[in-house]
Structure 1
């Protein structure tokens, strides 16, 4: 894949008289792009994996069947704990074809997008010009917190329409946004004996879209800046959930099992560099990033509690699996 792209760069650049100096220069740029691909994989994948968990929890506030056309609205605050194992990764000189770690080091520990703000320098040589790259920082937050709005509408036959959306939440070194919608169906309505014992069941299917972006690499060369100063992870996730609950006084205790499947798409963005006058660097990088796309399946457990106070419900939940994610929200019954 990379060899084909390097060849395409050489052919394209040959049309620009005097701008592409030598085939060797272009080959070195190709190696630089390959190194950027390697780094981007290690840097952003922990963040997009975590984004799936952030979007999985707190969709189900109650398993009870509601009256048709009942409408409720709520404000939720999501809290995602970044595990230590996903905050850093190790790079070695042997991982790179163009860059090397500055000051003669053979390896170094650097942050992922979910890590701290430590930075080191990578250096390379392009036709006698030293390329010195400062590695990107992480968000430097152990706990990622963001609010969102959800609206639930009760439909006929014990079905509910679920929606949620967040603002473009500012992280220390990036942005995060999620939205989604789904359907929930009450199952315990078919088992009156269970309902008489305050035991309830429901099934949910929902879709979420996560968009997470971070400051990335700002590299300048004799060709000009590369214009890959931002990287985005776009995640499309389909969730399927089974829930059971027991009413104890004013508290409904809910246990859920969630299975989701996610499709990941990565791209670099930001202001295009002047090197675009020679060849389209952004689209080339994005073609390379296509090679790391893949689907993933996750299994998530969740426990939640719903406490009713007249028209208000206070809902707390905790999702667990590969990651841990907490959520607290206040729901208001409109009618």
Structure 2
């Protein structure tokens, strides 16, 4: 159970300058912790959305349509399941173990789960004033060594060697959250300009794609004297532009493809869930606690370039194709699909 408890001496909690200052420190700690908690998952989401965009770099007949069912498997590395944090990293909280014993400031960092990790072993405790305390169990992760989800992808060949592709997955339930990806891409065949490559059955193409990834996790489910905080869910919202160069070689019904991929991703975050009822007692800068949290989350918005390579094999029988791929970089992502070409 993930929970938070605000203990107030009375229903008439005073929003004194001291208390409001302490609330500000609480929000700052929450933003700092959120960054460490969700960033590994949003980085992983880029890898998951990158795979399988190009089924083949070769030029198809005009208006040829390909439809496929895909299964994606992302393997969570051990290094991204946890992070280390110390009391000195917090302005408001101190760390306690689950038995209620404080963690010494001299004992070094403790290990907390990221959104991709396992169970938490610690509380975070802070004091608003002499009478009012916050006790929070740090959030758990999905506790999965691999994240598997299906999606659909289709493409249609256009003029001059262009091909338009779309990708869509419905919202996939994880153990403690959800994941969804959708987007579109445009491929252009390049070996049509080099007759020597055609003779050797070597195909070359470039692709640009745009995708949206929405990944969410249970964060804290607040139970307070005055109600809820309204931050029971945290979302990572990722927009990715992908640039890809691919080359393939054909041997009868088999095609082997190698791709080099560079992604530029825009990462944003927000808290969600049911509206907090504590808003009737506390407001910050004329905003609800969640609105103020989300405003401060803007400080951890980021942009990243991510490079990876992908190796893919595709086998044809009749009008069906079976294709598998593996993408390498900081993470490893695999993809398996069955396609039908009209």
Q: Same fold (TM over 0.5)?
A: yes
- Contact kept, 8 Å, 1:42 with 1:89, in 2: the verdict is yes
Say whether 1:321 aligns with 2:329.
Answer: yes
Residue aligned with 1:141, SS: coil
Residue aligned with 2:22, SS: helix
Distance 1:67 1:23 in 2: 71
- Contact kept, 8 Å, 1:119 with 1:136, in 2: the verdict is no
Number of the residue aligned with 1:105: 103
| Structure 2 runs not aligned, ≥5 long | 1-11
Number of the residue aligned with 2:116: 114
Distance 1:164 1:72 in 2: 12
Distance 2:133 2:295 in 1: 26
Displacement of 1:116 after TM fit? Answer: 1.1
Distance 2:154 2:15 in 1: 59
Number of the residue aligned with 1:299: 307
Question: In the alignment, which of 153, 170, 176 is matched to residue 173 of structure 1?
Answer: 176
Number of the residue aligned with 1:61: 55
Residue aligned with 1:55, SS: helix
Number of the residue aligned with 1:74: 68
Number of the residue aligned with 1:254: 257
Residue aligned with 2:52, SS: coil
Distance 1:104 1:121 in 2: 9
Distance 1:125 1:67 in 2: 69
| Structure 1 runs not aligned, ≥5 long | 1-17
- Contact kept, 8 Å, 2:120 with 2:137, in 1: the verdict is no
Distance 2:210 2:40 in 1: 21
Residue aligned with 1:38, SS: helix
Number of the residue aligned with 1:7: none
Number of the residue aligned with 2:4: none
Number of the residue aligned with 2:79: 85
RMSD: 1.3
After superposition, the C-alpha distances for 1:79-110 in whole angstroms (9 at most, x for unaligned) are 11111111101121111122111112134211
Number of the residue aligned with 1:3: none
Displacement of 1:117 after TM fit? Answer: 2.4
- 1:120-199 equivalence runs, <5 A: 120-127=122-129, 128-199=131-202
The structure that is helix-richer by fraction is: 1
Number of the residue aligned with 2:6: none
- 1:206-245 equivalence runs, <5 A: 206-221=209-224, 224-245=227-248
Displacement of 1:225 after TM fit? Answer: 2.5
Residue aligned with 1:228, SS: coil
The TM-score normalised by the length of structure 2 is: 0.90
Displacement of 1:184 after TM fit? Answer: 0.4
The TM-score normalised by the length of structure 1 is: 0.92
After superposition, the C-alpha distances for 1:22-48 in whole angstroms (9 at most, x for unaligned) are 222211111111111111010000100
Distance 1:239 1:22 in 2: 50
Aligned length: 317
